[in-house]
Each structure stands twice: as structure tokens, then as C-alpha cells.
Amino acid sequence: MTRIFCMKQYYIIEGTVRNNIGDILQGMAAAQFLREDAVAVDREQLYAISKHSPGFLLATGWFMHDYNLFPPPPNIIPFYISVHVANSDFLKYPHIREHFRKHGPVGCRDKKTLYLFLGWGIPAYYSGCLTITTKPSIPIRNDQAGACLIVDNVDHPVPESILENIESLLQKKLVKVSHNPTGTSLPYQEYVSTGIERMRSLLNVYCDASLVVTTKIHCALPCLGMGANVVLIHPNPKDPRLETVNQFMKVISYKQLSSIKTFSIPAIRNERLQKQQQFITELVEQAVRLCRNPIRNPVKLKYHLIKIRSKMLAFLIRFIVILLLRTGLATAQMKRVFRP
């Protein structure tokens, strides 16, 4: 297929609330599919892309803190993939819903986000997270000689009692690694370059470890993608955000860590992981070649089927939501989420 070169290529790295280097990683996962001259843009300032040249935006990640400067301007063609909506109020704005309809179907990182879009009648499908396509730049160690890491950050610190339990089970001292970003006071582009350098260093640290124990989704997912030994621990494994990891391996609860006698790495569902990696890689590569959403105007049968299914589900689920709202059968949560 002939590659179509857009005047500019853009990817997203959040730059306003700088408390999670996972935001850097999500941008890096997108950038690996783009040209070297692709430009990082602040997720919270997407409308400011109008100051740059027209082009293609590979739009991934967590949306968002401030809705006022969304969506991107008309001179930008966005492809939404691996999207997570943190606050359902984001889609209560009609112009935002219309933007996603215009550029959908939307690829969603998790099922909660998927059903939020479908409930508003916006065609969407489950894509998973782009960070599972992360590739190692050094050989994977995965032997007993490497360090055992515990990776968390200021948002999700591991309680001391849990650390002690893990060390007792492993019979080995844990090396603490912070998932916090660096250079948070720097101007945006300097913060981005500093963060990318830091994240690359962290990925090498994960590859060189015998085991990575983490509370962070965007530590676990790239480790899975690279083939590093990883265990995701969490106080609530049923948290919908963890589904993107749970589909590939079991998440271990803090409660389980207090009762188990031996610490073992959960089995990886490798066939499912490889299938998802292939799907999302091929989809993004095609989007970059075409400079548009390949599911919106599909040239492949499998994308045509995704388009049909996403439109049918959007119609059906929106119909059910409206019916429940009008008959008074909707739950309080449904009323809060879907009533404009």
C-alpha cells in the first residue's frame, strides 16, 4: 500500500498535571508508529495545535482534565485509539459527542469507556492499550540474577505491610522504583524529552530485572509487551481500568498477598496477547499510512465488520438507554452518566 505523507504528524503527551510517567509512555507507544519529526502535543491543550501545520493526530490515552480546549481544530485529522475516559461528564457536551461521531468509530482501552461511548450512540469498539506494542531495546533477563523491583508512584504507593509480605514470600529484598516523571517544572517540550529519556531508562531497568511487581497499569502493560516477568498487584482487582491487564494475566489483590504461601508469576495468556498486539499494530500502521481512521472508510473486510458492529451496537445500546431513561427504569448511575 502506498504511504500517504501528511504535512505533519502529532501524538499526545499530557503536560498539565505531571504526576504519572505512564502518560509519557502512552505517547511513546504512539510515536513509535510515526515519523521521527512527529510533534508531541499537550493533551490538555489540543486546540492549540491550530498554531501548527495541518496534519494527522494519533490520539491515545486518558481523557481528560479540562474539556474547554477540546476537540482539536478542523485542520487536524485525529485517529482515536486506546482511549480511556476518566470522567463520564466529558461526553455530556454535544459538540464533543459530535466530534467523536465524525471521526469514529472510537477505539477504547477498556470496556467501561466502550459502553460509555455506545451509551451515547457513538460507534466504538474495544482496541486495548497501545502500550502492549512496546518493544525491548535490550535483551530480556528473566533470570534469578536480576533484581526484584517494586514499581509504584505517589498516586498508588504500596503499603509497607504489603512490601514486607512480598519480600517474605520471595525471600529477597525488593528494589523500589518510582513511576513518577522527572523535570515536571520544565517547559512542555523539555518535559517531554526529559520524560521520554526517563521512560526509556525505566523500560531497560524492567527488562534487566528478574521480576517486576507493580501497581501501575502502564508499567505492567509494556512489560507484558516486551516479555519481562511482571506481576500487577492492586487493592481492587475488579477495578474496570485493570481489565486491559486482566485479559492477559490475573491481577493479584493485596488481600491475596496476605494469605498466599508462595509467590508465583501468574500465567500469561500469550496467544491472546499476541493476537491483540497484531490487531492494534496493523490497525495503527494502516491509520498512519492513510492519515485517517481505517475503520471509518474500510479497505479491509475485518475493519468493515468492526464498523458495522460498532454502529449497530451504538444504535442498540443508545436505544436501550433512552428507553430506560424515559420509562423511569434507569438506575441513578445511568441517569447521572447519560442524562444531558
Cα distance between residue 203 and residue 196, in whole Å: 10
Average pLDDT of 39-68? Answer: 87
Please write the tens of the pLDDT for every residue from 290-337.
999 999 988 889 999 999 999 999 999 999 999 999 999 999 999 999
pLDDT given at position 339:
87
- Which triple of cell numbers denotes residue 46? 489540543
Please write the tens of the pLDDT for every residue from 77-106.
999 999 999 999 999 999 999 999 999 999
pLDDT given at position 6:
54
pLDDT given at position 198:
93
Alpha helix (H) residue ranges in the chain: 22-31, 94-103, 111-119, 160-170, 188-207, 217-226, 243-246, 254-259, 270-290, 301-327, 332-338
Please write the tens of the pLDDT for every residue from 125-159.
999 999 999 999 888 877 777 899 999 877 778 88
Residue limits of CATH 3.40.50 in the chain: 134-266
pLDDT given at position 2:
43
Q: What is the CATH number of domain 134-266?
A: 3.40.50
pLDDT given at position 5:
55
Cα distance between residue 30 and residue 130, in whole Å: 7
pLDDT category, 52, cuts 50, 70, 90?
A: low
